[in-house]
């Protein structure tokens, strides 16, 4: 059905640079005609909502259930919170990056956010996708110089972008089609991710064996004295992290030279479980503003947020890392970077890190906990042999994972392009939407249905917006 989509019969110029040509029967309306700003204070029985880039505005309890975060509880001062109704839209501090967020439930949200109440000419399902399209986000970004002056988007910015005015029935048809199409694409993506997970498990089994037993299957063992580690080769040593590696301290300003020209690596730039760097961009390109840590080439970059994601990599060059990461320099006479990297990606180290992180509201390994962790290791010469052996044995897994992830990327890119073409009128889905079988439609009114736990793992480092009290 998707392959058979065609353009509308006739088009006209919308008069909007970001929208281009639109179907001839579409109109253009001022944003404040379709949405008004909701200014109601939170009600006494309002549940606390969390705003996320990936999944919209959802109940805090659901967010905690799916991600493991414990979000700061709502302030008792309800006059510092805004009331939100289901199908409202929220302008968040990160809307210039990810668009406006749809509310899937009623509740309360921070007063710093702008809440938009849709009017009678609005279908929330259509605007849910329009507001997340790259075309709209770029138009919204162009309304302000907030990237330079540090200001957040406001209602004035929203009103600066006119919107398509489409018959309500057609908006509903577009929403119906996109619910069906994205559900099919998401199922395909999840199936591929399950294959990746199985390959990662097999790779982890190889790593676990090597970093707890070495390469000699007949080596005599000794009790490590660490309950969560068990036995290790008799000639290996155990020492606390702080005695074999140093965690860099002191932040630098990414707005100043030479730091602004350096690559900036954040947790979302690192592939979970493998340490492969997904993309490399300078601090200037990323518009970094807050302090970052400086790391030398060869040092370990380890994400202290949500350690269960196992995001660690070896710095490919002198670079910066976000404040959500530790830059770690192993003592060269005791640990090699390659071996320490394997340890920090292993399930057994991750179990320690996860247990340590659960002592705080948002899962995070603090500096003191990491410094007290006990590491186990042979001589550097044997560490290199272990590292090289694992690299060779896991190369086929890495190759398969890479190709499947490329397929996932292409599916997600196709999903993004399809949504953009449909919501801007480049493709006509009315006839297809009318013939869709009911059983294949995802219930978009069910917040459980739209919350994709698999995608949450990709966005866990950055998707939470509303985490603090007023």
Q: Tokens representing 89?
A: 């839209």
Q: Tell how strand 292-295 and strand 251-252 pair up.
A: antiparallel
At 440 the pLDDT is 54
In whole angstroms, what separates CA 281 from the centre of its chain? Answer: 17
Is 234 a residue whose pLDDT tops 80?
yes
Whole-number mean pLDDT of the chain?
87
Distance CA 12, CA 22 (A): 6
- Where do we find the tokens 């309360």? 108
Q: Tokens representing 301?
A: 């970059």
Residue 74 buriedness (CB in 10 A; 0-12 / 13-18 / 19+): buried
Q: Indicate the angle between helix axes 347-357 and 337-345, nearest 10 degrees.
A: 60
Distance CA 246, CA 416 (A): 42
Is 220 a residue whose pLDDT tops 50?
yes
Query: Residue range 28-57: average pLDDT?
Result: 90
Q: Which of 303, 199, 320, 215 is nearest to 257 (CA)?
A: 320
pLDDT band with cut points at 50, 70 and 90 for residue 359: low
Query: 105-129: per-residue pLDDT in tens?
Result: 999 998 888 999 999 999 999 999 9
Domains of the chain are 2-189+406-459 (3.90.220.20), 215-377 (3.90.220.20)
Is 33 a residue whose pLDDT tops 90?
yes
Is 74 a residue whose pLDDT tops 70?
no
Is 443 a residue whose pLDDT tops 60?
no
> What three-state secondary structure class fits 300?
strand
Q: According to the per-residue pLDDT averaged within each range, which of 17-21, 98-102, 226-230, 445-449 is highest? A: 17-21
pLDDT band with cut points at 50, 70 and 90 for residue 72: low
Distance CA 279, CA 281 (A): 7
CA 470 vs CA 74, 78, 80, 157, 246: distances in Å: 8, 10, 6, 23, 36
Query: Residue range 367-390: average pLDDT?
Result: 94
Q: Tokens representing 279?
A: 């993309």
At 79 the pLDDT is 67
Least confident of 150-154, 186-190, 346-350: 150-154
Distance CA 294, CA 366 (A): 18
H/E segment holding residue 345: helix 337-345
Q: Tokens representing 358?
A: 């659960």
pLDDT band with cut points at 50, 70 and 90 for residue 338: very high
Q: Which of 218, 162, 187 is nearest to 35 (CA)?
A: 162
H/E segment holding residue 59: strand 56-59
Q: Tokens representing 123?
A: 């279908």
Query: 379-438: per-residue pLDDT in tens?
Result: 999 999 999 999 999 999 999 999 999 999 999 999 999 999 999 999 999 999 998 887
At 111 the pLDDT is 85
251 forms beta bridges with: 293
pTM metric for this prediction: 0.80
pLDDT band with cut points at 50, 70 and 90 for residue 288: confident
Asked if residues 121 and 168 have their Cβ atoms less than 8 Å apart, the reply is yes
């Amino acid at each position: 059905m998707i392959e058979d989509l065609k353009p509308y019969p006739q088009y006209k110029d919308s008069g909007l640079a970001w929208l281009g040509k639109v179907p001839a029967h579409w109109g253009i309306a001022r944003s404040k005609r379709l949405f008004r700003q909701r200014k109601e204070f939170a009600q006494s029985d309002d549940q606390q909502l969390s705003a996320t880039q990936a999944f919209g505005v959802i109940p805090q309890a659901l967010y905690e259930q799916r991600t493991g975060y414990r979000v700061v509880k709502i302030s008792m001062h309800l006059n510092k919170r805004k009331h939100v109704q289901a199908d409202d839209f929220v302008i968040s501090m990160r809307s210039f990056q990810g668009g406006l967020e749809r509310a899937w439930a009623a509740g309360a949200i921070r007063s710093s956010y702008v809440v938009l109440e849709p009017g009678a000419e609005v279908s929330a399902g259509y605007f849910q996708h329009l507001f997340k399209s790259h075309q709209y986000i770029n138009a919204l970004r162009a309304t302000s110089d907030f990237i330079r002056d540090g200001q957040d988007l406001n209602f004035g910015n929203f009103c600066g972008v006119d919107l398509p005015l489409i018959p309500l029935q057609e908006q509903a048809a577009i929403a119906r089609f996109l619910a069906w199409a994205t559900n099919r694409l998401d199922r395909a993506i999840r199936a591929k991710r399950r294959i990746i997970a199985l390959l990662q498990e097999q790779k982890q089994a190889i790593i676990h064996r090597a970093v707890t037993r070495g390469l000699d299957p007949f080596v005599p063992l000794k009790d490590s004295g660490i309950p969560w580690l068990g036995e290790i080769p008799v000639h290996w040593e155990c020492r606390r992290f702080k005695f074999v590696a140093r965690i860099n301290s002191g932040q630098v300003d990414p707005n100043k030279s030479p730091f602004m020209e350096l690559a900036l690596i954040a947790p979302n730039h690192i592939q979970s479980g493998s340490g492969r760097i997904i993309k490399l961009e300078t601090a200037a390109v990323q518009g970094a503003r807050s302090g970052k840590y400086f790391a030398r080439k060869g040092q370990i970059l380890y994400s202290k947020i949500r350690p269960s994601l196992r995001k660690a990599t070896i710095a490919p060059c002198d670079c910066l890392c976000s404040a959500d990461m530790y830059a770690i320099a192993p003592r060269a006479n005791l640990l090699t970077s390659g071996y320490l990297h394997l340890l920090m990606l292993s399930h057994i180290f991750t179990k320690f890190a996860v247990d340590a992180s659960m002592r705080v509201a948002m899962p995070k390994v603090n500096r003191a906990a990491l410094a007290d962790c006990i590491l186990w290791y042979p001589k550097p010469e044997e560490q290199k042999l272990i590292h090289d052996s694992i690299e060779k044995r896991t190369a086929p897994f890495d190759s398969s994972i890479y190709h499947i992830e490329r397929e996932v990327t292409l599916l997600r890119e196709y999903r993004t392009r399809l949504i953009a073409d449909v919501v801007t009128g480049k493709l006509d889905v009315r006839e297809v939407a009318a013939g869709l079988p009911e059983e294949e439609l995802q219930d978009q009114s069910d917040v459980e249905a739209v919350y994709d736990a698999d995608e949450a793992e990709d966005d866990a480092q950055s998707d939470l917006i509303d985490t603090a009290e007023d």
